[in-house]
Amino acid sequence: MGAEALGKLLRQNKSIRSLTLEWNSLGMWAEGFSFFCQGLRANNFLQRLDLRNNQINHQGAGELAMALTQNTSLQELDLRWNNIGLLGGRALLNCLHSNKTLKRLELAGNNVPGDILKAVEQALDHNQDREAILSEAQNQVNILSKEVLSLKDEKNKQFMDFVDTVDKQKEERARSEKMSAARVSQLQEALDEQYSIMNSLKTKLQMAEAALALSEQKVRTLGELLNAMKQEQNSVAECHFRELQQQKQEGADREGRLLHDLSAASEKNLLLRNQVDELERKCKVQQDQLFQLKQDLTNTTAELKLRAVEAEERLEMEKRRFKQSLEDMESLRVKEVDRVAQQMEASERSMHDRIQRLEAIRISLDEELNRVKVAALTERGRAEEELIKARSQARLEEQQRLEHLEEKLRLMTESRDEAQNCCLKQKEMAAEAQAKAKQLSLYADGLKRRLEELQQDLDRKEEKKVTELNKMKVELQEQIGHLEAERTAQDGLREKIAALERQLKALSSNHREALLDKEGEISLLMEKLRMKEAEISRMREEETQRASFLQNAIMAYVQGSPLGTHSSRK
């Protein structure tokens, strides 16, 4: 009843992690213990179970083994001081091939052979190694994912900063354009005022000519600045084109390196597979030798049985002859009985000698089996070391690739900084143009003041210069033409500024595409890493399965050989 209640508890409970049930005799009732094992099978939260000294026999051990094949949470099981025996030990060993979570299994004081205990320890060590490898791989995957996320965040931040700077530059340019338009309107108004005043002034024309000469010089300087800006734009475009070509070449080199790495990894996998095939061949040869030895042992036992049957038949024949001659030859019968007894003793001695020889042969065969086991274990250790070396090499290669990618990201950031520096230079040029415009406005104010001073002089000399008004009108028309030319030049400057903004937009789009391409390459590298780790884990599981199959075959041969059964019976 208590075992059944505990089974129900284990089926429904999800909070108990450790359960101690020592000295409770749960194994005395098979039905109750089977119900307890069913509850353990359905529970996936218990981690430690203590069943010491509960009178569990080999049947109870089989029930426990069936439960452990489906349980995925139990890590420690204590079965000391029970009565599990050979069959129970085999059942628990077989269940460990499917259970990958059990790390500790105590079987002291259960009459379990030493070979089975060693095999159980090896399986538990394999489970511990597997869990450690899985935890390491999970930690590496988490670290890589965090690094990738941090890199993505940094890239997004850099891109957003770049976009913000571009937007700020656009806003500043719009403001400068508005200010320049306002200043141009102010200059236009001043020019209109000058045109109204020029009808009565002569000296004003001379000052206007000087102003026109200065404006022509400024136009020339502005043209030179425009040419310099064009050259700088061409140089920047050539630099960006070269950088794109370099990036394309680097991408091609990277693809070639990745292909070379993949070919090297495939060659290593082929070498490992060849080594595994050689190990399988050696195991097959050893199995054939063991099979031949088993056949020799069966032939010798058959010969011994036939000789024993023949001896029994001879005895029966001699007994019949003695019975027929009892009445006539009692004295002869005594002698013949003595002779037959001597012969039987001699035959028994010879049989004992042959049995001792066969036992010596069996001992030598056991030693050879142990040697084969040791050789298989050494080969397995070598294979595991080779796998560890291959994995470390793969990790080093992956670290080198990540460093290479980081260097490329650094180069990209440097190129972005250079682009920002170019933008700053362009800002400085715009600021210089604004300063020059301010100087022009100040100069226009000075001209206004001078015109006011000249108005007084012109009032005095109006009578003399009526005849020169026509000439002044023609010159004013020419000045108006020059001013319109300056307006057209300013419009051209605006168009060039718009073209520069378009080029900046194209460059930003190219940078975005390059960043997206690099993110795609990083994702491809991560997928290749995952594929390689999956292949390594699969190869390791195959090797462990083969080793377990070999061990089970050797144990089955040692325990199921007819020589062992004959010696145990005797």
How far apart (Å, rounded) are the C-alpha atoms in residues 219 and 192? 21
Lowest mean pLDDT among 22-31, 171-180, 204-213, 377-386: 204-213
Q: Residue 566 pLDDT > 70, yes or no?
A: no
Q: Rounded to an integer, what distance in angstroms lies between the CA atom of residue 551 and that of residue 118?
A: 11
Q: Taking 50 as the threshold, does the pLDDT of residue 419 lie above it?
A: yes
What is the average pLDDT value for the chain, to the nearest integer? 78
Answer yes or no: is pLDDT of 265 > 70: no
Give the mean pLDDT of 412-435.
74
Predicted local confidence at residue 18, as pLDDT? 92
pLDDT band at 198 (very low <50, low <70, confident <90, very high): low
Q: Minimal CA–CA distance to 54: which of 27, 89, 78?
A: 27
pLDDT, tens only, 439-475: 776 776 777 787 777 777 767 777 776 667 677 677 7
Provide the pLDDT confidence category of residue 518 given band limits of 50, 70 and 90: confident
The end-to-end CA distance of the chain, in Å, is 44
Mean per-residue pLDDT, 314-326 = 70
In the block, tokens 């059964």 appear at 565
* Predicted TM-score (pTM) of this structure: 0.30
* Nearest alpha carbon to residue 459 among 218, 205, 239, 197: 197
The per-residue pLDDT for 564 is 46
Kindly give, in sequence order, each residue whose CB lies less than 8 Å from that of residue 104, ignoring residues fewer than 6 positions away: 75, 76, 77, 124
Q: Can you tell me the distance from the alpha carbon of 198 to that of 220, in angstroms, rounded to the nearest whole number?
A: 27
HEC string of 368-383? Answer: HHHHHHHHHHHHHHHH
pLDDT score recorded for residue 20: 92
Q: What is the DSSP string of 254-272?
A: HHHHHHHHHHHHHHHHHHH
Helix (H) or strand (E) holding 104: strand 104-106
pLDDT at 48: 92
- The answer to whether residue 329 scores a pLDDT higher than 70 is no
Stretch 400-429: mean pLDDT: 75
State CA 223 to chain mean position distance. 59
Q: Residue 460: count other Cβ atoms within 10 Å of its Cβ.
A: 8
- Spatial neighbors of 115 by CB under 8 A, at least 6 apart, are 555, 558
Closest CA to 56 of 26, 15, 24: 26
Side-chain half-sphere exposure of 489, counting CA atoms within 13 A: 18
Determine which helix (DSSP H) or strand (DSSP E) holds 155, and give its type and residue range. Answer: helix 114-197
Structure confidence at residue 361 (pLDDT): 78
pLDDT above 80 (res 2): yes
What per-residue confidence (pLDDT) applies to 334? 65
Lowest mean pLDDT among 39-53, 141-155, 251-265: 251-265
Two structure tokens written together for 204: 């004003």
- Of the ranges 270-284, 487-501, 552-566, which is most confident? 487-501
pLDDT at position 565, please? 44
- Asked if the model's pLDDT at residue 332 lies above 70, the reply is no
Asked if 76 and 49 count as a contact pair (C-beta separation under 8 A), the reply is yes
Residue 199 DSSP label: G
Query: How far apart are the C-alpha atoms of 533 and 144, rounded to whole Å?
Result: 14
Residue 96 has pLDDT above 80, yes or no: yes
Virtual torsion, Cα 72, 73, 75, 79, nearest 10 deg: -80
- Give me the mean pLDDT over the 551-562 stretch: 75
Secondary structure class of 294 (helix, strand, coil) = helix
pLDDT at 561 over 60: no
**Could you tell me the two tokens for 12?**
């429904």
Residues in the chain: 570
Distance CA 195, CA 483 (A): 12
What region, left, alpha or beta, does residue 43 occupy, with left being phi > 0 and alpha being psi -120 to 50 degrees? beta
Both tokens assigned to 567 = 């010696």
Range of weakest confidence among 106-110, 126-130, 138-142, 496-500: 496-500
Q: How many CA atoms lie within 13 A of 128 on its CB side?
A: 10
**pLDDT the model gives residue 199:** 67
Pair 201, 451: CB distance under 8 Å:
yes
Closest C-alpha to 475, from 195, 214, 246? 195
Structural contact between residues 78 and 107, judged by C-beta atoms closer than 8 angstroms:
no
**pLDDT at site 14:** 85
Q: What tens digit of pLDDT does each residue of 18-43 get? A: 999 888 888 888 888 888 898 888 88
Average pLDDT over residues 419-430: 73
Question: What is residue 569's predicted lDDT score, i.e. its pLDDT?
Answer: 40
- Between 77 and 363, whose confidence is greater? 77
User: How far is C-alpha 371 from the chain's CA centre?
Assistant: 40
